[in-house]
């Protein structure tokens, strides 16, 4: 009953070097004005009692004024004063280390903020002041050859001519921190430096002579000459591929790591970098091989690039696999018909929805990036006689189709290095899909483009590299990531309503459901290839928290009942829905209300309104952030407000809650236990140790009542039995974390293993965590509990436990080894966590 011990040689790039700790688990906290370093330090006893080994901090460097998340860094040399400064961070580190906990730090290498006023970012202020002569000019990914040699600043509320005519630009004296009193150009809250020697010029001429170009905000999508974070013009890319920029922007973080203040790093969005593999290799040496994980979305069966020096990802590929192992595939067809009735979409149309969304994004908010790529390709072709007849228009059409056809964030091609076989395969497959959308007269141009993007010889003999060709290779990949993020996650995922829980960051909604066998096969691969990567169910970026998704997943188990419920909800709400309310948004509303229902009833109005406003604007079908359609939005919000107070609607949803309560219980506890015991470092997002039905940020970043959580844990530790699902989830979370901590060798040790266990029911998920092939911990979880209920229970189904005596730390019972009836193992809870006694 055990796997054979295998001495595997983990590649150095995936390992953690001696002297650095590998977390057994992490607890993510979202820092801010309402949660400072000292606040977190006061909670350390609770985190330690919960059983985590590391506290995982959101970004701590100085951020733009009013930042609510910390990803808009303005100063790499300063720990945020708002959070308590470096001394506050050190106090937290001392408290954590004294309790046996480590600290993991989230860092942002890809971009900095363009804050208001701009002087908050001293490096950017210098560039705006002195242009290419600034010592920081190489920091930012600016194309100085475009925009008349000036950085485009698209901050104006109208075209520059109209702004000047209304005298909205003012030349004033301003005390600028770090500079002193100086002449600045003010536009409402925006403040910009004035180039030396231009102070006395007429205002229009002065504006034209600066190292920046003030422009209407809408210009950004068409003419921007600095690389931004996706389509966010207030975040400017940083060129960390330059060793001097890397050293300058990482000095403080690396010092904190060397001095033992922090113990590991989480890297935000490395796919946005020019050379992710090169960056990670440099970081590994700079950290001496500390534990480092990356926020990387692996599409489908994509694997982490072989040459990335990282312990693994932050766990999105685990998230969707765990979740969809608890979704009933039998519900797909009927739920597809419900979607079709409301929206007109058919079950197999997600690819079409995705393509449409990507095409809109390429043609809209990312047009500036595509235009820049086309210019690069056209310049390359124009300079080579053999390529000169490939026109700008032909190149643009091929680039657009290639970007739309790309099925992942990027292909990892490095200028001057042979393209890896997987990158060649990915790019050529995308080109083949793109060719089917183009005429035969574009085939030759597509072939040239593919050669250029793979760094191959194209055109005249021997021409493989020059600065423009290298830039085209890099920028195409960076643009691919932006198209995927904005087109799929931030557009298509807000349009697709088959089961909205599947539309998650890194998710695979086209698969609908997976099996325990699928999950086990992935877990075996993860154990062998990246055993120190993270697993997660909720993050600060998830579109719905794990508990919302668990409630929604149960819909798949009861599709007929759900179909009837939706028809009843539609009848009840018909008088106030309004003719402008489209089917997709209506169906999103019903699923949102069901997914966020609690014992107290429906979600609060302000949370629902904020979420739906964001959702419909992200969907971009009827309204957008840049151009809100007030009439449409008011129709949506009015229907939502009335629905959440309509006694008939509330009665229907309350009945659904009662009908699904046991299935939701099993899904909530099962997904949590499985995530916490799979291969990898288990992450718990703040507050999710109890049911917390949340929605997309900022809803999922709301403050957590740590005192109430601590009191609940203390009561359970004192021997009180669980009184409801909140207690049960706290019990499962705390006991699983403590087992990970106390039996760490079975989870993150060098000889840790994962082996599925035999069982007779497809509704049971069972496996063991081993040390050198010897089973130490066993997990048994119920999946699709509504089906178990329909079948009248577990009947005579069994699970084969490894030999020995086992202690269920959840129910405090002893279970024998060998073949056991599932009903007896799961007598008290729908899950069991068994630890072998006498080891």
DSSP codes of every residue in 417-431: SPPPHHHHHHHHHHH
Distance, in Å, from the CA atom of 384 to the CA atom of 469, rounded to the nearest integer, reads 12
Helix (H, G, I), strand (E, B) or coil at 221: helix
Which alpha helices (H) appear in 344-391, and where do they start and end? 350-363, 367-383
Give the closest residue to 555 by CA, choosing from 326, 750, 382, 216.
Answer: 326
Sign of torsion over alpha carbons 136, 140, 143, 146? negative
Give the closest residue to 61 by CA, choosing from 128, 111, 129, 127.
Answer: 111
Residue 6 has pLDDT above 50, yes or no: no
Residues paired with residue 267 on neighbouring β-strands, in sequence order:
107, 294
Distance, in Å, from the CA atom of 669 to the CA atom of 180, rounded to the nearest integer, reads 58
- CB neighbour list of residue 699: distance below 8 Å, 6 or more residues apart: 607, 610, 611
The helix or strand, by DSSP H or E, that contains position 611, with its residue range, turns out to be helix 605-619
Cα–Cα distances (Å) from 781 to 406, 651, 765, 825, in that order, read 37, 31, 5, 10
Distance, in Å, from the CA atom of 583 to the CA atom of 353, rounded to the nearest integer, reads 15
How much is the pLDDT for 2? Answer: 38
Distance, in Å, from the CA atom of 301 to the CA atom of 808, rounded to the nearest integer, reads 35
What's the farthest any 2 CA atoms get from each other in the chain? Answer: 91
- As a whole number of Å, the end-to-end CA separation of the chain is 16
232 C-beta neighbours (distance < 10 Å), count: 16
The helix or strand, by DSSP H or E, that contains position 152, with its residue range, turns out to be strand 151-156
Distance, in Å, from the CA atom of 455 to the CA atom of 267, rounded to the nearest integer, reads 28
Confidence of residue 3 (pLDDT cuts 50, 70, 90): very low
Residues paired with residue 151 on neighbouring β-strands, in sequence order:
212
Going from the N-terminus, what domains does the chain have, and what CATH number goes with each?
17-110+240-310 (3.20.20.80), 118-237 (3.30.1590.10), 354-473 (no CATH)
The helix or strand, by DSSP H or E, that contains position 103, with its residue range, turns out to be strand 102-107
Read off the pLDDT of residues 221-257 as tens digits, 9 standing for 90 and up. Answer: 787 777 766 566 788 899 999 999 999 999 999 999 9
Distance, in Å, from the CA atom of 194 to the CA atom of 203, rounded to the nearest integer, reads 11
Residues paired with residue 32 on neighbouring β-strands, in sequence order:
35
Cα–Cα distances (Å) from 699 to 340, 490, 501, 681, 695, in that order, read 29, 16, 16, 25, 6
Task: Look at the chain and count its residues.
Answer: 839
Helix (H, G, I), strand (E, B) or coil at 587: helix
Residue 463 has pLDDT above 90, yes or no: no
The helix or strand, by DSSP H or E, that contains position 151, with its residue range, turns out to be strand 151-156
The helix or strand, by DSSP H or E, that contains position 104, with its residue range, turns out to be strand 102-107
How much is the pLDDT for 218? Answer: 86
Summarize the confidence of residues 784-806 as an average pLDDT: 96
Summarize the confidence of residues 578-602 as an average pLDDT: 97
Q: Name the CA radius of gyration of the chain, rounded.
A: 28
Residue 5 has pLDDT above 60, yes or no: no
pLDDT above 90 covers what percent of the chain?
92
CB 588 within 8 A of CB 581: no
Distance, in Å, from the CA atom of 824 to the CA atom of 459, rounded to the nearest integer, reads 72
How much is the pLDDT for 230? Answer: 58
How much is the pLDDT for 222? Answer: 80
Q: Is 760 exposed, middle or buried (0-12, 13-18, 19+ CB in 10 A)?
A: middle
Sign of torsion over alpha carbons 764, 769, 775, 776? negative
595 half-sphere exposure, CB direction, 13 A CA radius: 26
Question: Taking all residues of the chain, what is their mean pLDDT, rounded to a whole number?
Answer: 95
Distance, in Å, from the CA atom of 402 to the CA atom of 430, rounded to the nearest integer, reads 6
Residues paired with residue 790 on neighbouring β-strands, in sequence order:
none
Residue with tokens 């906290």: 29
Confidence of residue 346 (pLDDT cuts 50, 70, 90): very high
Residue 581 has pLDDT above 80, yes or no: yes
Q: Residues 563, 569, 574, CA angle at the centre, nearest 5°? A: 125
Q: Angle at which helices 516-529 and 316-325 pack, to 10 degrees?
A: 160
CB 603 within 8 A of CB 693: yes
How much is the pLDDT for 558? Answer: 98
Sign of torsion over alpha carbons 464, 468, 474, 479? negative
Residue 600 has pLDDT above 80, yes or no: yes
How much is the pLDDT for 9? Answer: 76
381 C-beta neighbours (distance < 10 Å), count: 24
The reported pTM is: 0.95
Residue with tokens 């003012």: 170
Residues paired with residue 259 on neighbouring β-strands, in sequence order:
none
700 C-beta neighbours (distance < 10 Å), count: 23
Residue with tokens 């959101």: 58
Residue 551 has pLDDT above 50, yes or no: yes
Summarize the confidence of residues 340-359 as an average pLDDT: 97
Summarize the confidence of residues 690-698 as an average pLDDT: 97
Distance, in Å, from the CA atom of 508 to the CA atom of 490, rounded to the nearest integer, reads 14
Cα–Cα distances (Å) from 496 to 190, 304, 490, 510, 818, in that order, read 39, 27, 11, 10, 46
Read off the pLDDT of residues 488-539 as tens digits, 9 standing for 90 and up. Answer: 999 999 999 999 999 999 999 999 999 999 999 999 999 999 999 999 999 9
Which alpha helices (H) appear in 486-558, and where do they start and end? 516-529, 546-553
């Amino acid at each position: 009953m055990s796997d054979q011990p295998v001495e595997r040689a983990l590649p150095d790039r995936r390992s953690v070097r001696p002297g650095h700790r590998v977390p057994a688990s992490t607890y993510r906290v979202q820092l801010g004005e309402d949660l400072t370093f000292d606040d977190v330090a006061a909670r350390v006893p609770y985190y330690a009692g919960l059983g985590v080994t590391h506290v995982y901090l959101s970004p701590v460097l100085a951020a733009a004024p009013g930042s609510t998340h910390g990803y808009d860094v303005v100063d790499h040399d300063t720990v945020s004063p708002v959070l308590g400064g470096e001394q506050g961070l050190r106090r937290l580190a001392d408290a954590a280390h004294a309790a046996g906990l480590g600290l993991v730090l989230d860092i942002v290498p890809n971009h900095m903020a363009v804050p208001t006023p701009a002087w908050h970012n001293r490096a950017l202020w210098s560039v705006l002041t002195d242009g290419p002569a600034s010592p920081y000019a190489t920091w930012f990914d600016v194309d100085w050859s475009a925009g008349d040699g000036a950085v485009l600043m698209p901050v104006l509320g109208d075209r520059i001519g109209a702004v000047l005519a209304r005298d909205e630009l003012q030349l004033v004296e301003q005390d600028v921190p770090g500079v002193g009193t100086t002449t600045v150009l003010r536009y409402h809250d925006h403040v910009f430096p004035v180039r030396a020697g231009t102070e006395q010029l007429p205002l229009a001429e002065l504006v034209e002579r600066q190292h920046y170009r003030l422009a209407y905000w809408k210009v950004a999508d068409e003419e921007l000459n600095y690389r931004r974070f996706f389509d966010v013009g207030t975040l400017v890319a940083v060129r960390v591929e330059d060793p001097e920029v890397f050293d300058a922007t990482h000095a403080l973080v690396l010092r904190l790591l060397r001095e033992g203040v922090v113990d590991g790093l989480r890297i935000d969005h490395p796919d946005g970098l020019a050379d992710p593999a090169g960056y990670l290799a440099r970081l590994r040496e700079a950290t001496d091989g500390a534990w480092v994980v990356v926020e990387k979305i692996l599409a489908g069966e994509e694997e982490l690039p072989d040459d990335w020096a990282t312990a693994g990802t932050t766990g999105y590929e685990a998230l969707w696999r765990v979740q969809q192992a608890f979704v009933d595939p039998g519900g797909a067809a009927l739920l597809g018909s419900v979607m079709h009735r409301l929206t007109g979409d058919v079950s197999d149309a997600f690819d079409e929805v995705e393509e449409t969304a990507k095409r809109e994004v390429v043609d809209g908010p990312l047009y500036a990036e595509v235009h820049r790529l086309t210019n690069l390709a056209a310049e390359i072709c124009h300079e080579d006689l053999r390529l000169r007849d490939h026109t700008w228009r032909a190149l643009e059409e091929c680039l657009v189709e290639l970007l739309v056809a790309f099925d992942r964030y990027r292909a990892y091609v490095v200028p001057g290095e042979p393209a890896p076989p997987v990158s060649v395969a990915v790019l050529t497959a995308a080109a083949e899909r793109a060719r089917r959308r183009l005429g035969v007269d574009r085939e030759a141009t597509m072939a040239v483009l593919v050669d250029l993007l793979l760094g191959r010889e194209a055109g005249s003999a021997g021409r493989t590299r020059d600065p423009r060709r290298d830039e085209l290779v890099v920028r195409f990949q960076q643009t691919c990531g932006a198209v995927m993020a904005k087109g799929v996650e931030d557009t298509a995922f807000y349009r697709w309503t088959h089961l909205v829980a599947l539309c998650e960051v890194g998710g695979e909604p086209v698969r609908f459901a997976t099996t325990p066998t699928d999950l086990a096969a992935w877990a075996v691969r993860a154990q062998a290839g990246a055993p120190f990567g993270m697993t997660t169910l909720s993050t600060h970026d998830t579109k719905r928290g794990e508990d919302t998704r668990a409630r929604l997943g149960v819909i798949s188990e009861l599709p007929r009942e759900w179909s009837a419920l939706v028809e009843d909800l539609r009848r009840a709400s018909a008088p106030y829905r309004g003719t402008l309310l489209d089917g997709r948004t209506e169906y999103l509303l019903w699923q949102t209300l069901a997914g966020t229902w609690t014992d107290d009833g429906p979600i609060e109005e302000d949370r629902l309104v904020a979420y739906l406003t964001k959702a419909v604007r992200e969907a971009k079908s009827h309204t957008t952030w840049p151009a809100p359609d007030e009439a449409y939005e008011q129709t949506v919000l009015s229907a939502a407000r009335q629905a959440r107070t309509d006694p008939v609607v509330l009665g229907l949803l309350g009945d659904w809650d009662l009908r699904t309560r046991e299935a939701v219980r099993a899904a909530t506890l099962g997904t949590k236990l499985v995530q916490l015991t799979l291969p990898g470092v288990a992450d718990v997002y703040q507050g999710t140790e109890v049911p917390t039905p949340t929605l997309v940020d900022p809803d999922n970043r709301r403050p957590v009542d740590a005192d109430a959580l601590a009191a609940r844990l203390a009561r359970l530790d004192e021997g009180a039995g669980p009184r409801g699902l909140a207690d049960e989830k706290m019990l499962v979370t705390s006991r699983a974390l403590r087992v990970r901590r106390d039996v760490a060798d079975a989870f993150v040790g060098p000889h840790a293993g994962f082996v599925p266990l035999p069982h007779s029911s497809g509704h049971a998920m069972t496996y063991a965590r081993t040390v050198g092939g010897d089973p130490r911990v066993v997990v048994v979880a119920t999946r699709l509990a509504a089906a178990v209920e329909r079948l009248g229970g577990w009947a005579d189904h069994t699970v084969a436990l490894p030999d020995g005596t086992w202690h269920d730390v959840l129910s405090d019972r002893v279970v024998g080894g060998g073949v056991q009836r599932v009903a007896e193992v799961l007598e008290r809870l729908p899950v069991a966590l068994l630890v072998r006694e006498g080891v």
